[in-house]
Amino acid sequence: MSRVRIVTDSTSDIPAATREKLGIEMVPLKIHLDGETYLDAVTLQPDHFYHKLVTAKSMPSTSQPSPAEFLTLYEKLLAEDPEVQIISIHLSSAMSGTYQSALLAKSMLETDRVEVIDSKSACYGIGALAVAAAEAAREGKSVEECTKIVRSMRETFAIYFLVDTLEFLQKGGRIGKASALIGSLLNIKPILSVDPEGEIASVDKVRGQKKAMARIIDMLRRDVPSGALHVSVAHANNMEAAEELHRLIEQNFTVKSMQYISIGPVIGAHAGPGTVAAFVSPA
């Protein structure tokens, strides 16, 4: 077993099979819907969540894990191996208190064997970092080498979200009611990204999905270096749009690896169903 273990949270949206294969530990966030509380990616999976949204009487809300939940996991991993070191990679601190909960848990331990990293990202922007770190750990790389890979990759990642409906952004306070109403009437599709500080940022607004996807391709041409790319296309119950975005990326770039990712309930609660996203990094 590797002496470096990777911990993340459920907003990383790493497929369960990948987490199991690489030994990545996951702490779930919570989602609250119609009086019930669920554990993201544990007691509520994406398909079930988007199905429940259709008949939900209220908008979903979310909450972060407690420091105690992180502490329990850290103590378990540390007890299993007296030489293990932990890299814990989490949802942007600008979006959630999850990273802070992990830091507080670390402060309760009398050890320097836990490194907590702010991904400054969301969804597979976190997941790709955790997977890269876990793969490096399996190759026998040190905690310093794994951490360096994560921090370097964080700086070279291109991320674009295409939101299908403005309703969830409005309910979450990202845009006003008037903007949401006008945008919906005009079929405006906001293109979002994550800025260097880890904040969700609006980068463009385009009328119609096809034009919006073409605009994402333009921005990827501008942002990513020439050469082969690793591509992950994530979607919130919108496989058709994910396949179209994948097709456009393959037509315009050299794709070394490609996978589809399901956007989980917590990220989906804020972005809304129908969202599609591209996560692109140099191969």
Residue 194's domain comprises 158-282
Q: Looking at residue 255, which CATH number applies to its domain? A: 3.30.1180.10
Listed in sequence order, the residues at least 6 apart from 227 whose beta carbon sits closer than 8 Å to its beta carbon are: 254, 282, 283
Q: Which of 155, 179, 205 is the last residue of a domain?
A: 155
Higher pLDDT, 178 or 90: 90
Mean pLDDT of all residues belonging to the chain: 92
Q: What is the pLDDT of residues 218-257, one digit of tens each?
A: 999 999 988 999 999 999 999 999 999 999 999 999 999 9
pTM value is: 0.93
pLDDT at 166: 65
Maximum C-alpha span of the chain: 60
Which amino acid makes up residue 55? T
DSSP 197-261: TS-EEEEEEEESHHHHHHHHHHHHHHHSPSSEEEEEEEESS-HHHHHHHHHHHHHHSEEEEEEEE
- The answer to which of 53-62, 81-90, 180-189, 190-199 has the lowest mean pLDDT is 180-189
Q: How confident is the model at residue 22 (pLDDT cuts 50, 70, 90)?
A: very high
Task: With respect to residue 193, please indicate whether it lies within any of the assigned structural domains.
Answer: yes
User: Is the same domain home to 270 and 237?
Assistant: yes
User: Is the same domain home to 23 and 110?
Assistant: yes
Task: With respect to residue 42, please indicate whether it lies within any of the assigned structural domains.
Answer: no
User: Is the same domain home to 272 and 183?
Assistant: yes
User: Is the same domain home to 151 and 165?
Assistant: no
Query: Does residue 192 carry a pLDDT above 80?
Result: yes
Radius of gyration for the chain, computed over Cα atoms and rounded to the nearest angstrom: 19
Q: What is the pLDDT of residues 27-47, one digit of tens each?
A: 999 999 999 999 999 999 999
Task: With respect to residue 230, please indicate whether it lies within any of the assigned structural domains.
Answer: yes
Task: With respect to residue 36, please indicate whether it lies within any of the assigned structural domains.
Answer: no
User: Is the same domain home to 16 and 134?
Assistant: yes
Task: With respect to residue 46, please indicate whether it lies within any of the assigned structural domains.
Answer: no
User: Is the same domain home to 163 and 217?
Assistant: yes
Q: Which of 155, 183, 209 is the last residue of a domain?
A: 155
Task: With respect to residue 35, please indicate whether it lies within any of the assigned structural domains.
Answer: no
User: Is the same domain home to 143 and 165?
Assistant: no
Listed in sequence order, the residues at least 6 apart from 150 whose beta carbon sits closer than 8 Å to its beta carbon are: 87, 89, 117, 129, 132, 133
Number of structural domains in the chain: 2
For residues 78 and 109, the answer to whether their CB atoms sit within 8 Å is yes
User: Is the same domain home to 170 and 136?
Assistant: no
User: Is the same domain home to 272 and 164?
Assistant: yes
Q: Looking at residue 145, which CATH number applies to its domain? A: 3.40.50.10170
pLDDT at 170: 55
User: Is the same domain home to 164 and 88?
Assistant: no
Query: Does residue 185 carry a pLDDT above 70?
Result: no
User: Is the same domain home to 250 and 140?
Assistant: no
DSSP 23-47: T-EEE--EEEETTEEEEBTTTB-HH
pLDDT at 187: 76
Geometric angle at alpha carbon 89, from 129 and 243, rounded to 5°: 40
Q: What is the pLDDT of residues 105-119, one digit of tens each?
A: 999 998 999 999 999
Q: Which of 155, 190, 215 is the last residue of a domain?
A: 155
Structure tokens at 233: 């296309």
Sign of CA dihedral 219, 121, 257, 136: positive
pLDDT at 175: 46
User: Is the same domain home to 165 and 111?
Assistant: no
Query: Does residue 178 carry a pLDDT above 70?
Result: no
Query: Does residue 148 carry a pLDDT above 70?
Result: yes
Q: 190: helix, coil or strand?
A: strand
Query: Does residue 184 carry a pLDDT above 90?
Result: no
pLDDT at 145: 97
pLDDT at 121: 97
C-alpha–C-alpha distance, residues 10 and 69, integer Å: 13
Task: With respect to residue 86, please indicate whether it lies within any of the assigned structural domains.
Answer: yes
Task: With respect to residue 37, please indicate whether it lies within any of the assigned structural domains.
Answer: no
